[in-house]
Amino acid sequence: MAERKQTVHRVMIAGGCCWMLLVAVLIALQPQSKLKGAPPPKEAVTSVTNQYVVLGYNDLGMHCMNQDFSEMCILPPFNTLRAQVIDRSGEDPRIVTSGLSVRYSIPGNTISSNKTNFWTYSKPLFGVNIPANVGLTGSMLAGYMKPTGNNDWAAIGIPVTPLDDKKQLNAFQLSKIDVLVNKLQVATTSAVIPVSWEINCNLCHNTKGISVATDILRKHDKLHNTKLEASKPVLCAGCHADPALGTTGVKGVKSMSHAMHGSHASRMGAVAGIGNTCYACHPGTATNCQRDVHFSKGIACVSCHGDMSAVANPVRRPWIDEPTCGSCHQKRKPNFQFEEPGKLFKDSRGHGGVHCSACHGPQHATGPATTAADNVQAVQHQGYAGTITKCTVCHKKQPDEPFFHKIDD
């Protein structure tokens, strides 16, 4: 057992998962006063000005996590907020990446360590003792974003859970993002920080007398001649490469995406009560992680991603070969430009360097969304839900020329 865990940790580190080593460095460099789940240092705040506007967004539109880590870990608490700050005082708006501070918090959610046992098992799972309420990258539930070098700011690895401080389940909690210049709050916005642990393995893995995780590990041992049940807690990404965690896995072992979709593709027809079979694993019939304008128009997961067999195709590169906006919309609007070459929607920019997600919202929640929280930012800035199309949100005055939806426009 000990040998297997040491092997996993060596493989993950040697395979390029250097972020785990970075965790220890980041945590060691943090002043101890910042490792207690407290909000960031208070700064003087006065009224918001109209010189700046800030647009916030999540990087994926939904993050999944386990609630219990005592037996296995599919995904840890790990969320990312991004923001773009725009100075609208000049003739043309200017994206700002220095000379100010971008602060984030999650009102009503200030602690995570009493909602999950992740920190109890961080050492056997990830090889690092992580202080309570600190994420794998050193981020906390409140703090300051850092410039990314890609025209935006980010807080990566926020360890938020779907339970707020009142222990109410809410997959679509609102974060607060403030911009400060010389301790003066000059802009603010609200952006959803989505997270769910509705991973419905229990629909199939429900053998009486044992836990869901034990049922999974026991069946894995039987099918693949492994000894995972005797090696708890197990990090699935230790053997199965997972770009979501930065692990390269074990040579000859299928990636997490290929293994999960491939092994379950032929079995999901037997799952009763699930109209969307994707929701047997992805969150979920209660969460409804796909809540965007496409969903409201009857466009489902498989319409873009294909069915489970297609996702399991070994030729497909997980997190790289994903649907693009242009693959459908280019036919309707041939003169438009969509994703940047070689980039997905979540990383693409247009319109003078503004990120697509800043105006449209993140994938799976592009506006107008079916969830009220995901529409808050658009309503806050332009007075109505949906894509931010009101030019004067960023421009001091209405431009004379129309926007042609081109990257350099």
404 pLDDT above the threshold of 50: yes
Q: Is there a domain that residue 299 lies in?
A: no
Query: Could you count the other beta carbons within 10 Å of the beta carbon of residue 54?
Result: 24
**Average of pLDDT values for 207-211?**
97
**Average of pLDDT values for 337-361?**
93
pLDDT for the residue numbered 158: 98
pTM of the model: 0.88
pLDDT for the residue numbered 334: 82
The structural domain count of the chain equals 1
97 pLDDT above the threshold of 80: yes
38 pLDDT above the threshold of 60: no
**Average of pLDDT values for 229-257?**
95
Alpha helical stretches, state H, 127-239: 212-224
Q: Is there a domain that residue 141 lies in?
A: yes
pLDDT for the residue numbered 273: 65
Q: Is there a domain that residue 345 lies in?
A: no
- Domain that residue 121 falls in: 2-196
pLDDT for the residue numbered 237: 97
Q: Which long-range contacts (CB under 8 A, 24 or more apart) does 384-390 make?
A: 386/293, 387/359, 387/360, 387/361, 388/55, 388/358, 388/359, 388/360, 389/359
26 pLDDT above the threshold of 80: no
pLDDT for the residue numbered 206: 93
Q: Is there a domain that residue 111 lies in?
A: yes
Q: Is there a domain that residue 21 lies in?
A: yes
Distance CA 309, CA 220 (A): 20
pLDDT for the residue numbered 407: 77
Q: Is there a domain that residue 285 lies in?
A: no
Among the residue ranges 47-51, 213-217, 253-257, the one predicted with the least confidence is 47-51
Q: What is the mean pLDDT of the chain?
A: 88
Distance CA 348, CA 355 (A): 6
pLDDT for the residue numbered 408: 75
**Average of pLDDT values for 379-384?**
97
14 pLDDT above the threshold of 70: no
Token representation of residue 257 = 């995406």
pLDDT for the residue numbered 36: 45
Q: Is there a domain that residue 49 lies in?
A: yes
Question: With bands split at pLDDT 50, 70 and 90, how would you rate the model's confidence at 82?
Answer: very high
pLDDT in tens, 385-399: 999 999 999 999 999
Concatenating the DSSP letter of every residue in 68-99 gives --SSEES--S-EEEEEEEEE-SSSS-EEE-SS
pLDDT for the residue numbered 395: 95
> Which of residues 127 and 276 earns the better pLDDT score?
127
Backbone φ and ψ of 328, nearest 5°: -110, -45
pLDDT in tens, 260-270: 999 998 888 76
Q: Please tell me whether residue 101 adopts helix, strand or coil conformation.
A: strand
CA torsion, ordered 80, 38, 28, 9, to nearest 10 deg? -50
Question: With bands split at pLDDT 50, 70 and 90, how would you rate the model's confidence at 48?
Answer: low
Q: Is there a domain that residue 173 lies in?
A: yes
State what percent of residues in the chain have pLDDT above 90. 76
Question: With bands split at pLDDT 50, 70 and 90, how would you rate the model's confidence at 10?
Answer: very low
Query: Could you count the other beta carbons within 10 Å of the beta carbon of residue 318?
Result: 18
Among the residue ranges 137-146, 269-278, 283-292, 361-370, the one predicted with the least confidence is 269-278
